[in-house]
Chains A and B, each alone.
Chain A
Amino acid sequence: MTRPKLAIAGLTACSGCQLTLLNCEDQLVDVARLFDLVYFPMGESGSDPDAVFDAAIVEGAVSTPADVELLFGLRNASHLLVAFGTCALWGGVAAMNNKVSGRDELVRQVYGDSGRIESFPPSPMGNFVSIDFAITGCPPEKHDLLALLAAVLAGTLPPLQSYPVCTECRSRENLCLLLEKGELCLGPIIQGGCNARCPATGIVCEGCRGPVREANVAQELELLLERGFDRKEIERRMSRFTPEWDYGKRR
C-alpha cells in the first residue's frame, strides 16, 4: 500500500493546531509509519517545493501575502485541503478585532513606526480557496484529527457531526450555566463535538469551535439581552473566535 503524502502547515496562527498532532503520542508511531509526511516545517520535515500531496492539513488565518502564496501552493499541490482549526475556518482569535481597529494602527503599535510588515485583516482560508474538509476547534480535538487521518487512509472523509454544545452538555448532566446561573454562555449557537469540555467544569462556552450550522443567532442575542447582558459585551464575547456573525440570522 502506498503511504498517503501529507502536508501539515500553518498560516497566521499560534501553531497550537499542529501541536494537536504531536500531542497524539499514542498514535504518532502509526502515523509516521502509515503516512509520508512530505511537508511539515513545524515537525522539521523537508520541504520539497515540487511535492504533491494527498492531503494538506492547514491551520491558521490568512493575513499576509506569504500566507496567500503558501495557501495557493498547497491548494494546487494537494488532492484534499483541510482547514484545520478555528482560525483556518472562521478567522479565530487573530481576527477578533477586525471590526474595531485599523490594520495600520495595529501594525504600528506592534512593530513601531519603522516596522515594515505587509499585513491585512486575518480571514478564513475559505475566502481564498475551496476547502474539502474542516476540523474546527481552538485547539481541535485529537480524536477529530485522528478520524480524519484514518479516513484519508481508507480513501474517504469522516462523517460530519452537526449539533450545538448544549446537546453534549445536557447529556453530561451539567448544570446549565445559561439558564440556572444566568451566565453569558454561547452553547446554543456553537458547534459541539468537544463533549462540552468547558461547561462540564463550570466555565461558560466561549465559542471556540465557531457557529453551529443552523445557529439561531438573533434569538441567542435576544435571550442574552433579556438576561441583562450589554450588547457590546455580548458582541465582544461572540467575536472572540468568530469575527463575522450575522446577528439577524435566525436559521
Chain B
Amino acid sequence: MDKKYLKNGQFSEFIETLRLFGDLHGPTMSDTGVFAFSPVSDPSQLRLDYQRTQIPPKKYLLPFREEILSYREGNYRQSHHHTPEIILFGVHPCDLDGIAYLDRVFLGDSPDPCYAGRRARLTLVGLSCVPDDFCFCSGLAEPPTCDLFLTLQGDGFKVDALSARGKEIAQAAKDLLSLEATGATVPLQRTGITAQDPQLRFSDNPLWDKFATTCVSCGACSVCCPTCYCFDVREYPSLDGGGIRLREWDNCLFVTHGEVAGANFRGSRLERLRYRFLHKYCGFTPLQGMTSCVGCGRCKEVCPVDIDLRELTVNPDQGTESP
C-alpha cells in the first residue's frame, strides 16, 4: 500500500521538498490584498484558504504580452524564452481543467512553441477546495489533470501522484508521508455547466439586450478567465532597422476583435456577447460541443455590472434550464 498521507506537521518540509524540483509558486496574497499565484520563498506565504486568484494560472503558459519573433535584415527568428522549471502549488480543480483545455488548444495539431516550451517546464500540484457562492464547477476530473493532487482531509492531506513527475516528487517526499489516513474527505456538491446549443445565442431572451446595454467592455471577464486565450499579434519596427512581433491577450468583447479592413464581423456589443457565449459555452471547431467554462466564478466576481452569461441558459418563461 502506498504511503500517501501528509500530516499538517510535515507540510512545511513537504513544501521545501517541492522546491528541489523547480522554482516554487503558489497562491499568495499581494500587498494590496489580491490573491495571486506568485513566487513563494517561505511556506508561510502560501494561502491555502484562497478561493480564487484574480488571474488564473494561464499567465504561466500564455503571458499577457510576449515577443514571439524578431526580424532584422530580411531574416526573422523565433524568440526564445528561457523559462525555468516551475512547480505551481495549490491549483484548484477548476484551474486544472482550464489548463487541460488550453493544452488541447495550444498543444493540438500544430503545437504553439512558446506555450509548449513553458508547459514542458511546469509541474502542477493540485489542491482540493471548498466552493463559495461564485463557484459552479463540475467537480474534479478523474483522474485530475496534474502531476500531484492534494486533498484536504482532517489534519492533513491525501497525496495522489498522477504522473511520472508526480511519482518522482512523492518518492523524494516519502519520509514525510505516512500510511495512516489523516481524516475523511468531505464530498462536495458541484453544479457545473454543460455545453449549450449554439442556437441559444440567437434566442430572444431579453437578457441579451440588458447585458449589451450594461456591459462596459472593460474586458475583465476575459482577462481573468482561465480558458480565454484569444490574442492579438502586432509588429513594431525598431530604430535599429529590425523589429519585433508580439502577441498580447485580446478580447472578443472589444470592437477591434472582429475588425478587418473596411468592416467588422461583430460591430455591436450584442453580437460580441453572443459570440462570447458561442465560444465559451458551445465550443468552436474542433472543440465544438465542449464547454470551455470551468466554473471558477471569476467572470462574475470581477464584472462591474454583474453580468452572468449563464443566466441565458435558463428559460425566462419557465425558470428552468433549457434542454
Q: Real complex partners, A and B? A: yes
Q: Is A77 part of the contact surface with B, judged by Cβ < 8 Å?
A: no
- Tell me if A151 is interfacial: C-beta within 8 Å of chain B: yes
| Shortest beta-carbon distance from A82 to chain B in Å | 16
Whether B249 contacts A171 by the Cβ 8 Å rule is yes
- Complex contact B216–A188 (CB within 8 A): yes
Q: Which B residues are in CB contact (< 8 Å) with A31? A: 239
Residues of chain B with a CB closer than 8 A to A251's CB? 268-269
Contact across chains for B255 and A151 when beta carbons are under 8 A apart: no
Chain B contacts for A34, CB-based, 8 A: 239
Cross-chain contact A153 with B239 (CB below 8 angstroms): yes
B268 to chain A: which residues have CB within 8 Å?
Answer: 251
How far is B216's CA from A159's CA once the two chains are assembled, in angstroms? 24
B32 touches A (CB below 8 Å): yes
Contact, CB under 8 Å: B256 / A150: no
CB-CB contacts of A157-177 with B at 8 A, as 1s and 0s?
011111110111011011110
In angstroms, Cα B36 to Cα A173, docked, is 7
Check if A175 sits within 8 Å of B32, measured CB to CB.
yes
B236 contacts A158, C-beta separation under 8 Å: yes
Q: Which of B167-218 contact A (CB under 8 A)?
A: 213-218
- Residues from chain B with Cβ under 8 Å of A223 in the complex: 216, 304-305
- Taking a contact as CB atoms closer than 8 A, the residue among B216, B220, B224 that contacts A219 in the complex is B216
* In the complex, B237 has a CB within 8 A of chain A: yes
Give the residue of A164, A175, A176 whose beta carbon is less than 8 angstroms from that of B217.
A164
Give A205 Cβ to nearest chain B Cβ, in Å. Answer: 11
Asked, given contacts A167-B218, A223-B216, whether A214 binds B255 with beta carbons under 8 Å apart, the answer is yes
By a CB distance below 8 angstroms, the chain A residues around B64 are 168, 171
CB distance from A224 to the nearest CB of B (A): 10
Taking the complex as formed, is A156 at the interface, i.e. its CB lies under 8 A from any CB of chain B?
yes
B34 on interface, CB distance cutoff 8 Å: yes
Q: Tell me whether A170 and B238 are in contact in the complex, defined as CB-CB below 8 angstroms, given that A175-B34, A176-B302 are known contacts.
A: no
Interface presence of B162 (CB below 8 A): no
Q: Mark A200-225, 1 if CB is under 8 A from B, else 0.
A: 00100000000011111001100100
Given the known A-B contacts A176-B302, A179-B304, are A166 and B34 also in contact in the complex, defined by CB atoms under 8 Å? no
Q: Which one of A159, A178, A188, A214 contacts B234 once the chains associate, using CB atoms below 8 Å?
A: A159
Interchain CB contact under 8 A, A189 and B216: yes
- Closest A residue to B236 using CB positions: A147
User: Cβ of A3: which chain B residues have Cβ within 8 Å of it?
Assistant: none
Given A164-B218, A176-B302, A216-B215: A171 touches B55 (CB 8 Å cut-off): yes
A154 at the interface (CB under 8 A from B): yes
CA distance A231 to B109 in the complex (A): 54
Contact with B along A113-143 (1 / 0, CB 8 A): 0000000000000000000000000000000
Q: Is the CB of A214 within 8 A of B34?
A: no
B12: Cβ under 8 A from any A Cβ: no
Residues of B within 8 A of A170 (CB): 54-55, 219-220, 223-224, 302
| B53 proximity list for chain A (CB < 8 A) | 173
- Report the Cα distance A130→B234, complex, angstroms: 25
Q: How far is the CA of A205 from the CA of B254 in the complex (A)?
A: 20
The answer to whether B145 has its CB under 8 Å from any CB of chain A is no
Contact assessment for B243 and A219 in the assembled complex, using a CB-CB cutoff below 8 Å:
no
Is B291 among interface residues, defined by CB-CB distance under 8 A? no
Interface contacts beyond A150-B237, A164-B216, A180-B33: sample of 20 additional A-B pairs, CB < 8 Å, sorted by A: A146-B239, A153-B237, A153-B239, A154-B243, A159-B234, A166-B223, A167-B218, A170-B55, A171-B64, A171-B249, A173-B30, A175-B33, A188-B217, A188-B218, A214-B217, A216-B216, A219-B213, A223-B216, A250-B213, A251-B268
Provide 12 A-B residue pairs closer than 8 Å at the C-beta atoms, listed in order of the A residue.
Answer: A34-B239, A149-B239, A153-B239, A156-B237, A164-B219, A166-B219, A167-B249, A168-B64, A189-B216, A214-B269, A216-B216, A219-B213
A residues sitting closer than 8 Å to B (CB atoms) are 27, 30-31, 34, 146-147, 149-151, 153-154, 156, 158-164, 166-168, 170-171, 173-176, 178-180, 187-189, 202, 212-216, 219-220, 223, 250-251
